[in-house]
């Protein structure tokens, strides 16, 4: 399975979150997951809210278009981003490996 798949309305991304980091950033692809570092701690949903806000900024779609489908309480999550096609996501993440067709 690739780290990203296209859906009819956008994309789904396998994400691995590292909370309590020095800054919010996308690190790269590791073990078929997009690794994201966040400054928020993993308590009371803070890291999930920060992840949605951060990805909304990166993909220029806003947090309201991002849903955590699986992994609310873990570090590995399945995130759906609506309204952003696969080609745009790949273009906004230069230097990362391209997904398998």
Instruction: Phi first, then psi: give them for residue 49, nearest 5 degrees.
Output: -65, -40
Helices (H) and strands (E) in the chain, counts: 2, 6
Please return the burial class of 94, using the count of CB atoms within 10 Å of its CB with bins 0-12, 13-18 and 19+: exposed
pLDDT band at 20 (very low <50, low <70, confident <90, very high): very high
Tens digit of pLDDT for each residue in 30-70?
A: 889 999 999 999 999 999 999 999 999 999 999 999 999 99
Residue 8 has pLDDT above 80, yes or no: yes
Domains of the chain and any CATH numbers:
4-85 (3.30.1200.10)
Answer with the residue of higher pLDDT: 14 or 1.
Answer: 14
Supply the Cα-derived Rg of the chain in whole angstroms.
Answer: 12
pTM across the whole model: 0.91
* CA–CA dist 52, 48 (Å, integer): 6
Q: Which helix (H) or strand (E) holds 87?
A: helix 86-92
């Amino acid at each position: 399975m690739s780290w990203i798949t296209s859906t009819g309305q956008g994309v789904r991304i396998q994400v691995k979150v590292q909370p309590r980091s020095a800054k919010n950033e996308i690190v790269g692809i590791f073990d078929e997951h997009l690794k994201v570092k966040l400054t928020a701690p993993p308590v009371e949903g803070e890291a999930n809210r920060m992840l949605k806000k951060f990805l909304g900024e990166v993909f220029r779609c806003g947090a309201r278009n991002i849903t955590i489908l699986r992994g609310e309480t873990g570090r590995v999550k399945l995130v759906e981003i609506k309204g952003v096609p696969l080609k745009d996501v790949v273009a906004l993440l230069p230097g990362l490996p391209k997904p398998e067709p």
